[in-house]
Structure 1
Amino acid sequence: MARPRKFEEDRAVEAAMRAFWDAGYEATSTQDLCAATGLGRSSIYNTFAGKHELFERGLRHYMDERDARLAELMEGDLPIREKVRTVLWWAVEPDPGDPAGCLVVNSLVELGPRDAKIAELLRRDNDKRVGIMRAAIEDARTRGELDAGKDPLALAHFVTATVSGLQVAKRGGAAQATLESIANTALDLF
């Protein structure tokens, strides 16, 4: 019995996402995508219309997964300090099976300045993540977990920027102790 096309597409998008995450958009060739997905060149172009569309689908897939995980955490019952610590440690101690860094951050640096469509997609994703964090921080402030004078939007932007910085530092080879020091410094605000 043949596997459904949707399954094959989802598997190919996941495999391509990981290839782009590891090497970046420009450095990932069509041949690399063929090797990663198990598809032939013509199948990639027939199914996805090309490298850019496959990249965009992979990036959206990555963002959807990460945003869902963030939303689930932020909507949970943990104190805000534990929620923020968890988010920071996702960058400090990522899944060992994942490529270094973050596909969103890598794409922002590589493509953001010259690909308006990807830049807009990344901006909307950043706004979504900041919004998720802001809501959790506002709730925590209302419950008295944070000083009433702390600005939830500024804190949400700060945590998001810190996570991005940790991702870049990790990809650049920063020592584990350095990453932990940065994360603990950020955590002191909570």
Structure 2
Amino acid sequence: MARPREFDPDSVVDAAMDVFWVSGYTATSTNDLCEGTGLARSSLYNTYKSKRDLYEEALRRYGRRTRTEQAELLARDGPVREVVRGFLLRAVDTQLGDPARRGCLALNAAVELGGADAAVAELTRDDFDTIVATMRALIERGQATGELSPGDALAKARLVHAALTGIHVVGRVAEDRARLTDIVDALVDSL
């Protein structure tokens, strides 16, 4: 008779996500995952089959988190410019407040493996598309009220996502907050 699990699988995926987020997929060893999750190698592999399966599950978990955050963002009231500005400034503060300067897990995965790995590319595209869809809906809302100038809302939403990506990349080496808030201000003023 099999022993019941003595750990919470959701907590294990969250812990593994943090390990991958800091080190990336390739540089993360099984020992790193065991240490980060607190599981023995046998428990890890009995539950997740491989490092790869656990990585994909971590990316799916990150994507679910993104969808939840984006739904909350879309539900916010107030001027659209300020909602978008707040979203981007939270990314600035998160990036600069993280001692490891991890950036965005989906972006990291896309850079590391996305060009050579169809499953990772799909998972990261889904994450990116969620953000773009939210920004598009916000921009269309702002255009409908006259707050934002008319134009291609999808292209503008992709521009917001590009600025977010830039914040995560530049934020890894930025020495001051102004370098990142300039990106935010210029982007939001252009909407």
The question of a shared fold, defined as TM-score above 0.5 by the shorter chain, is answered with yes
SS at match of 2:27: coil
Deviation at 1:6, TM superposition (A): 9.5
Q: How many residue pairs were aligned?
A: 186
The residue identity in structure 2 corresponding to 1:59 is L
Deviations 1:125-159 (A, max 9, x none): 222221121112111111111122x2210110000
Contact 1:18 1:99 (8 Å CA) reproduced = no
Contact 1:75 1:136 (8 Å CA) reproduced = no
The residue identity in structure 2 corresponding to 1:137 is I
The CA distance in 2 between the partners of 1:99 and 1:37, in whole Å, is: 18
Deviations 1:9-66 (A, max 9, x none): 0000000001111111111111000000000111111100111111111111112112
Matched, 1:17 2:17: yes
- Which shifted more, 150-159 or 164-173? 164-173
What residue ranges of structure 1 are gaps of 5+ in the alignment? none
2:187 aligned partner: 186
The residue identity in structure 2 corresponding to 1:38 is G
1:157 aligned partner: 158
1:132 aligned partner: 134
The CA distance in 2 between the partners of 1:32 and 1:121, in whole Å, is: 23
Note the 1:94-133 alignment, pairs <5 A: 94=94, 96=97, 99-100=100-101, 101-133=103-135
Deviation at 1:188, TM superposition (A): 1.1
The CA distance in 2 between the partners of 1:155 and 1:98, in whole Å, is: 31
In structure 2, do the counterparts of structure 1 residues 99 and 70 end up closer, same or farther at CA, with 3 Å as the change threshold? farther
The residue identity in structure 2 corresponding to 1:16 is A
SS at match of 2:120: helix
2:49 aligned partner: 49
TM-score (normalizing by structure 1):
0.91
Contact 1:19 1:36 (8 Å CA) reproduced = yes
TM-score (normalizing by structure 2):
0.90
Deviation at 1:70, TM superposition (A): 1.8
In structure 2, do the counterparts of structure 1 residues 104 and 86 end up closer, same or farther at CA, with 3 Å as the change threshold? same
SS at match of 1:76: coil
Residue 148 of structure 2, aligned match among 128, 146, 149:
146
Matched, 1:177 2:175: no
What residue ranges of structure 2 are gaps of 5+ in the alignment? none
Deviation at 1:172, TM superposition (A): 3.1
Contact 1:21 1:99 (8 Å CA) reproduced = no
